[in-house]
Amino acid sequence: MARRVFRGGVHPPEHKDATAGSAIQWAPVPSQLVVPMSQHLGAPCQPLVEKGDRVERGQVIGSVDAMVSAPVHSPVSGTVTAVAKTLTPGGTSSVAVVIEPDETQDRESFVTVPEAEDRDRVRAAGIVGMGGATFPSVVKLTPPKGMAVDTVIVNGCECEPFLTCDHRVMLEQPERVVAGAAHIKRIVGAARVVIAVESNKPDAAEALRQAAGDTAEVVVLPTRYPQGAEKQLIYALLSKEVPHGKLPAATGALVHNVATAVAIADALEHGKPLTERVVTVTGAVARPGNYRVLIGTSVADLIEHAGGLVGDVERVIAGGPMTGQALGSLDVPVTKGTSGIVALAAGVAAPAVSDDQPCIRCGRCPEGCPMGLEPYAIANHAYRRQWDAAAERHATDCIECGVCSYVCPTGRPLVQLIRLAKAAAMSKGGN
């Protein structure tokens, strides 16, 4: 198999030691859960319950008749106390179902997903990409006609600094990762499975080799950010580039995160809907660790369980520091895409800057960009609201990895400006 290093990228300080050795432990059931109806890319769900309704763990509480969507299930047995708007970690608002849990909870029992064809069951379980993208998994499992998938890639790179939730999943549940990969392979009719792990996780790679035997190839790749980005991973493993404007399936590859693979195995083998996930809570907290968290638990409750914030905290991020979202409030819920809660102390967090910093034409951002773009140029056009010019620079090809902002010596918010250009291009039908 080919081994190619993707172009660009960086190797920021990893900051993983605090939690890499921390076994997954359950976070407690909070006194209230706020479960958003939009936890995925695509159409938001409509609530199926009202204030005062009784719900059971695993019961569908939100759904919508749209291909690109994913139903939402109750993480607990309890009573609906409200259906109201809430802020999400991404900074948007969503309708949410607020649930007061019963005093005692049976975490081993749940309303199972009805028996159905495999793809339908994955959709019914509400499974989305758990690496952060939250793309509904059933859509990936249904490639367009004429795009046959021959290679399933299970992504265990976890290249974001600070995060170790996927590392612990691979180390503690390697058999479930392999089982999920086998299901994905069977559903799409692929010939092979490759599980990719970065070189800073040798214990996870060995655990997966032992579990996989000859059913999957476990490949160790160099530690370099953003190794786990879909297009970069396909290039590193298969020496194939995803064509401009095309899906990864155009290369014959299908990529799923390791936690997503486990969720697929749980849905198909046990009928289990997605109501919980592993979250790394780290940085300036008293007890950094990896916690299995019920969807809808507030970030404030989760941080309190981790011993609370310590020292001079500059900001708290949902996700990793390269692609995550700085939180304006801790009163937001953990969602299906929340891989980490990272409290950054002063001196660790990048200083806040305004978008009027001048570009000094140093060339670092095009050198680091893994997509081969010129971020400074796209950002300059976006700053001037020159949307067509930004689109001509292929703004929509940006994967928002944050490398350009990381290497910029003047601290320009390049990713944020490029996001504006992407939004403008997509509102006009793309480029």
CA distance 129 to 136: 6
User: Under a CB-based contact definition with an 8 Å cutoff, are residues 254 and 153 in contact?
Assistant: yes
Q: What rounded mean pLDDT belongs to the chain? A: 94
- How many angstroms separate the first and last alpha carbons of the chain? 34
* Residue-wise pLDDT tens digits, 202-254: 999 999 999 999 999 999 999 999 999 999 999 999 999 998 878 889 999 99
pLDDT the model gives residue 90: 84
pLDDT the model gives residue 146: 83
Residue ending a domain, choose from 243, 270, 297: 270
242 and 123 part of one domain:
yes
Q: Among residues 188, 111, 101, 108, which one has the least CA distance to residue 142?
A: 188
- 57 located within any domain: yes
What tokens were used for 319?
């996700």
* pLDDT bracket for residue 353 (50, 70, 90): low
200 and 301 part of one domain:
no
Residue ending a domain, choose from 270, 291, 321: 270
pLDDT the model gives residue 5: 81
- Looking at the structure of the chain, the number of domains it has is 3
pLDDT at 81 over 80: yes
pLDDT at 350 over 70: no
119 and 239 part of one domain:
yes
93 and 159 part of one domain:
no
* pLDDT bracket for residue 431 (50, 70, 90): very low
Alpha-carbon distance values, 371 to 240, 421, 428 (Å): 13, 16, 22
* pLDDT bracket for residue 41 (50, 70, 90): confident
* Residue-wise pLDDT tens digits, 135-146: 999 999 999 888
154 and 245 part of one domain:
yes
pLDDT the model gives residue 4: 67
- 289 located within any domain: yes
- 24 located within any domain: no
- 375 located within any domain: yes
- 380 located within any domain: yes
334 and 263 part of one domain:
no
238 and 154 part of one domain:
yes
Q: What value does the mean pLDDT take over residues 396-410?
A: 94
99, β-bridge pairs: 33, 80
pTM assigned to the model: 0.94
pLDDT the model gives residue 3: 57
Q: What value does the mean pLDDT take over residues 25-50?
A: 96
Q: Which domain holds residue 293?
A: 30-110+278-345
pLDDT the model gives residue 418: 96
- 19 located within any domain: no
- 200 located within any domain: yes
118 and 265 part of one domain:
yes
Count of C-beta atoms within a 10 Å radius of residue 329: 12
209-232 as b/e, with b when 16 or more CB fall inside 10 Å?
A: bebbeeebbbbbbeebbbbbbbbb
The helix or strand, by DSSP H or E, that contains position 97, with its residue range, turns out to be strand 93-101
CATH number, domain containing residue 320: 3.10.20.600
116 and 172 part of one domain:
yes
CATH number, domain containing residue 243: 3.40.50.11540
372 and 312 part of one domain:
no
122 and 247 part of one domain:
yes
Residue ending a domain, choose from 270, 289, 322: 270
pLDDT the model gives residue 430: 42
191 and 309 part of one domain:
no
- 411 located within any domain: yes
